[in-house]
Structure 1
Amino acid sequence: MGFDLEALREAVKSHGRVTRVVIAAIKGSSPREVGASMLVWPGGQSGTIGGGTLEFEAAEAARRQTSERVLSHHALGPDMGQCCGGAVSLLSEVYDVDTVNTLDDEIICRATDERTMPLTVKRVLNEARGQGTRPEAQLIDGWMIEPVHKPARQLWIWGAGHVGRALVDVLSPLPDLAITWVDTGPERFPETIPAGVTTLPAAKPAELVRYAPTDAEHLVLTYSHTLDLELCNRLLNHDFAFAGLIGSATKWARFRSRLGKLGHTPDRISRITCPIGDPSLGKHPQMIAVGVAADMLRPALTETRKKDLSA
C-alpha cells in the first residue's frame, strides 16, 4: 500500500481536477486499512476506501470540495448503514496539473492544517530516508505521511494472444505488479493497454530476456512452441524468480528433453512450472488467467503444485 502517484497523474491528465480521498486513521473496526484511497472527479472515480455509505458520501463530498485539503472524521455504525462499529478519519485533497507535479517521488508528507512540522514527523522521515526504508502510511500530530507506491514484483508476460490478454486483464489491477508485455509486433496488442502495463513489441522477443531483472517473474504463452522453447532456454541461462509455461504434460515432457539436450540439468529445468494455473478450471483463457492469478497470489501453493506435477 502506498500513494499511487502514477495513477493520480494519469487521472489528472484525463480529468483535470481530481480529489484524492485517503483513510488517514482508524479506530476500532474499519472496511479498509490506513492508506487505502480513491480518486474522485465529476462523473467518475477509481479505487475504493471500502464501499458502502462511507465511500458514497465521501465521493459526493469530494466532488463538492472547494478547499485544497480537508480532514474529516466519521463514525461507522447504524446511522451510516454499516456495522463496523469503528471510526475513520479521511483526508481529502484536491490536485490539478500544477499541484501533482510538486509531489515527491519517494515519501509524500503534508500538514492537514497550518501547523509546522513537529519533531515526531521529522524523526519518522529522517529514519526512513537514513535507512532507505518505507514508512507506513500514518497520521501523526496533524501531518499525513505516505510512501509513494512502488510495485514490489516485476512480471513479464510473453505473448499477446487470447490467454495473454486474459492474464493482463486479470493481473493488471493488482497494486504490487509492474507488467511488461512482449510479443512480435505492435499489431499483436489490443488498442487499449491497462495502466501499469508496458508493451514491448520485438521481432525477436527472446533477445529481450537479457534485459529482464533476475528477480522478475515470467509467464511464457506465445503462439509458437519454437519461441516458447527458446524463451525457456534463455530464461534458464539468465535467471528469474519464477517462470511458468503454458502447455500440456506432453508439451512439457518434450521441452524437458530438448532443454536437457541444450545443456540444462534436471534440477535447473524443474524451476520452470508447466502447466500454469489450475488445469481443473478448464482451458478457457479467462479460466487459465484466474488460476494463474490465484497461484501468483499464493506462492506457496505454486511450489506445492509444482512438486506434485514433477512427481
Structure 2
Amino acid sequence: MQVWQRLLDAIDQHSKAAMATLVAIRGSAPREAGARIIVMPDGSFTGTIGGGTLEWRAIAEAQRAMAQAAAPGLALSSIALGPELGQCCGGRVELALEVFGMERRQEVKALAEAEARGPFRTRAQIFEGKPLVRAIAPGSSVPIGSATLHGGAIEEGFGEDPRALFLFGAGHVGRALVLALAPLPFAVTWIDPRPDAFPALVPANCRCVRQEDAPEALGAAPDGAFVLVMTHSHALDLAIVHKALAACRFGYVGLIGSASKRARFLRLLGEAGVEGDVSAALHSPIGLPGIRSKLPAVIAASVASDLLIRDEAVRRAALVEADAHPKLSLRSPRGS
C-alpha cells in the first residue's frame, strides 16, 4: 500500500495517527517483516500485520499512545506469538509503534512525495524514546515492502514494485485473468489488435493497448517482464511468442493451449531458428498442474497463482545475487 500517503490522509482527517510495523520476525509469524497497520484515534485502521490477537493488541496500544498529551517516541516491543498471546504460531516478532501528529506532517508529506515518485528505501538510527528520523538510503538493499532491524538501525523499503506483465488477448480467459490479478502485485499491460476488444472498465493496475501489430508492443516491455499469450489467433500467438523468446530478456513467457499446441509451436520455433533451450523457456500449458477445469475464472485463478509463485522465485533469485555481489551502502557513522 502507499504507506505515507495514507498516513498523510489520516493526519489531515484526524490530526494524528499511529503506525505499527513488524520490523523483524523469528520463526512462524502471521506476516512478513515490513507489514504495517495505520491506526486512527477511533480504532479504525488500514493495512494489516496479520490479524488475530497480535493485531488487536497493536491497535489497542496505538490508541493508548495517541491518547497521551505529548506524542511518544518510537516504542519497540518483542512479542512471543505463543503463550504471551495465547497463540500457537511459535515465533517472535519485533513491533515498532510510532505516533504522527500535525507536528510531523511535513516529514510525512515529504515521504509521501518520494513514494509517489516510485519505490525508495530509508534508514533510521534508533534512539529510545525518540521519533525515527528516516533518511533516504540509495545504497540499501532491503526489499521494497520489507524492513530489517540490525545494528541499532531500521532499514525499510517503501512504495510498490509490481511485476510488469504483458498480456496478449482480451478473450474470456484474458478478461477473467485481469480481474484475478487486480489485487495482486502486477502492473498489467493488456494488448489486443481488435477494435472494441476491451471491457469499458478495467482494474487500476491494468492499461489497455490496442495495437494492430501486437508483437511490436513487446518493445515497450521492460527487461524481466512476464509475457503471457492468449490471443484469438494461433498465428498471432506464434508471432508474439517468437519475438518474446528471441529477445532473451523476459522473466517468463507463457502460452495458453494444450500439450499438442506446445509441441507444434516448439517445432515451428525451431524451424524459425530461435536459439537456446526453447522447450525450457516456453511455459505451456499455463497454470498450476492438476487443475483441469476450463472455466475462464478457474483458469485465471490457476494462472494467477502460478504467476505469483514464479514472481517470488525471480525475486528470491535476485536477492541471492545481490547478497553475492553487495553494493556499497550509505550508512551513518556509529553514533551520528
Q: Cα distance 1:214–1:100, how it changes in 2: closer, same or farther (>3 A)?
A: same
Question: Given that residues 168 and 191 in structure 2 are in contact (C-alpha distance below 8 angstroms), is that contact kept between their aligned partners in structure 1?
Answer: yes
The offset of 1:157, in angstroms, is 2.1
Residues 277 and 30 (structure 1), Cα distance of their counterparts in 2 relative to 1, 3 Å cut: closer
Residue of structure 2 in register with 1:271 after alignment? 281
The 8 Å contact of residues 191 and 210 in structure 2, kept in 1 or not, is answered as yes
For each residue in 1:16-52, what CA deviation from the matched residue of structure 2 results, as whole angstroms up to 9, or x when unmatched? 6565421134577643343222344578655421210
| Aligned counterparts of 1:37 and 1:145: Cα–Cα separation in 2 | 14
SS at match of 2:290: helix
1:55 match: 55
Which of these residues, 246, 258, 269, is aligned with residue 237 of structure 1? 246
CA separation of 1:92 and 1:83: change in aligned 2, threshold 3 A: farther
The aligned amino acid for 1:211 is A
Q: CA deviation at 1:53?
A: 1.6
Letter in 1 for 2:240: L
CA RMSD of aligned residues (A): 4.3
Shift of residue 107, structure 1, vs aligned partner: 1.8
TM-score (norm 1): 0.69
| Alignment partner of 1:71 out of 63, 68, 75 | 75
Shift of residue 273 of structure 1?
1.8
TM-score (norm 2): 0.65
Per-residue deviation, 1:81 = 3.6
Task: Tell me, yes or no, if the aligned pair for 2:171 and 2:231 is still in contact at 8 Å.
Answer: yes
| Residues 206-221 of structure 1: pairs in structure 2 closer than 5 A | 206-221=215-230
1:201 to 187, 201, 209: 209
Q: Distance in 1 between matches of 2:161 and 2:285?
A: 26
Match status 1:102 vs 2:102: no
Percentage of identical aligned residues: 34
The answer as to 2:37 corresponding to 1:23 is no
User: Cα deviations across residues 48-67 of structure 1 (Å, max 9, x unaligned)?
Assistant: 21210221342355467364
Aligned length in residues: 286
Tell me if structure 1 keeps the 8 A contact 2:4–2:109. Answer: no
- Match in the other structure for 1:180: 189
CA contact (8 A) 1:8 1:39 kept: no
| Alpha-carbon shift at residue 209 of structure 1 (Å) | 0.7
What is the letter of the counterpart of residue 83 of structure 1?
C
Deviation at 1:210, TM superposition (A): 1.3
| 1:114-129 to 2 correspondences below 5 Å | 114=130, 129=139
8 Å Cα contact 2:33/2:148 also seen in 1: yes
Residue of structure 2 equivalent to 1:306:
none
Q: 1:168 to 1:40 in 2, by over 3 A?
A: farther
- After superposition, the Cα gap between the structure-2 partners of 1:14 and 1:171, relative to the gap in structure 1 and judged at 3 Å, is farther
Given the superposition, is the C-alpha separation of residues 265 and 89 from structure 1 closer, same or farther in structure 2, using an over 3 Å criterion? Answer: closer
Tell me how far apart the structure 2 counterparts of residues 171 and 280 of structure 1 sit (CA, whole Å): 21
What residue number does 1:89 align with? 95
